[in-house]
């Protein structure tokens, strides 16, 4: 890399950082607040809370939201349609949006989504489990909570890991 390229890359990186800070879209990069709430309700049925956090508590919505702006850009439309459909199924069954339904109702709605829109459900299931059990650096699995749940320590060998696995360049 020449010095010029290096400076240009640095300038672009800091511009991107600044853009991220001044976003007017709220906390989400890809989703609307309403979409995020619906998604959280679905994710929390896939990985519900027990003595360890649920998917959304561990940051899985953040994970999916970030990836919809990056590696999963191609799935944005599927999410927009699928989440809208989830809300309409919720409205038909419970009279409210999915996020506002009671937990047993949410389970019924998510089972209905699995039946009626299997492709979308499989996508959300895959992304939720990735986010929950994958590397903390992408926003899900906050504090490596799923790894602690499974009894796999982090870092694996104290004093040997040169990297803080939760920091550094994000996806």
Partner 1 sequence: MKRVHAVIVGAGAAGGIVAKQLSSAGLTVVLLERGPWYTAADCRKDDLRNQRTTVLGNAFGPEDEGNPRVWIDARGAAHIVLPSEGSYQNNAACVGGGTLSYGAMAWRFLPQDFRMRSTYGAPEGSSLEDWPIGYDDLEPFYDQAEYEIGVSGDDSPTPFHSPRRRSLPMPPLPPNREFAILEPAAKRLGLHPFPIPMLRNSVPYNGRGPCMRCRWCVGFACEVDAKNGSQNTVIPAALATGNCELRTRSMVKEILTDNRGRARGVSYFDANGRLQEQLSDIVVVSACAIESARLLLNSKSRLFPNGLGNRYDQVGRNLQGHHYTGALGFFDFDTYDDIGPGASIAVTDYNHGTPGLCGGGLLANEFIRLPIHTLDRLPPGTPRWGPGHKQAMRAWHRRTIIVMGPTQQIPTAEGRVTLDPWVKDRWGLPVARLQGNSHPHTFEIGEVQAARAAAWLKEAGAMQTALMAGRPEIVSSGQHQAGTCRMGDDPRASVVNRYCRLHDVDNVFVIDGSVHVNNGGFNPVLTIMAIAYFASDALLRSWKGTSFRS
Q: Can residue 69 be called a binding residue for partner 1 (CB under 8 A)?
A: no
| Interacting residue with partner 1 among 48, 93, 112, 145 (CB under 8 A) | 48
Give how far Cα 98 sits from Cα of 19, 42, 87, 150, 165, Å. Answer: 32, 8, 5, 30, 34
By the rule CB under 8 A, 147 interacts with partner 1: yes
Q: For partner 1, which residue of 100, 133, 145, 166 counts as binding (CB under 8 A)?
A: 133
How far CA 33 is from CA of 27, 51, 94, 138, in Å, comes to 8, 27, 21, 20
> Least CB distance from residue 32 to partner 1, whole Å?
23
- The residue count for binding partner 1 (CB under 8 A) is 36
Q: Among all chains, which residue has been given the structure tokens 């709430």?
A: 37
Note whether 125 binds partner 1 by CB under 8 A. yes
Tokens of 168: 């550094």
Residues 1-40 that bind partner 1 (CB under 8 A): none
Residues from 98 through 117 that contact partner 1 (CB under 8 A):
107
In angstroms, the CA 158 to CA 171 distance is 25
């Amino acid at each position: 890399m020449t010095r010029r390229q290096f400076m240009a890359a640095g300038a672009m990186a800091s511009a991107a950082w600044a853009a991220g800070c001044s976003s007017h879209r709220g906390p989400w990069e890809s989703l609307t607040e309403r979409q995020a709430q619906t998604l959280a309700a679905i994710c929390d049925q896939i990985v519900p809370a027990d003595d360890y956090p649920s998917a959304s508590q561990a940051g899985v919505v953040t994970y999916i939201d970030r990836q919809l702006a990056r590696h999963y850009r191609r799935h944005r439309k599927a999410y927009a349609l699928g989440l809208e459909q989830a809300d309409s199924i919720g409205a038909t069954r419970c009279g409210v949006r999915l996020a506002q339904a009671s937990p047993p109702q949410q389970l019924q709605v998510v089972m209905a989504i699995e039946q009626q829109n299997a492709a979308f459900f499989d996508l959300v299931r895959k992304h939720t489990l990735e986010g929950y059990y994958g590397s903390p650096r992408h926003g899900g699995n906050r504090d490596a909570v799923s790894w602690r749940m499974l009894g796999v320590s982090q870092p694996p060998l104290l004093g040997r890991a040169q990297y803080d696995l939760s920091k550094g360049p994000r996806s």
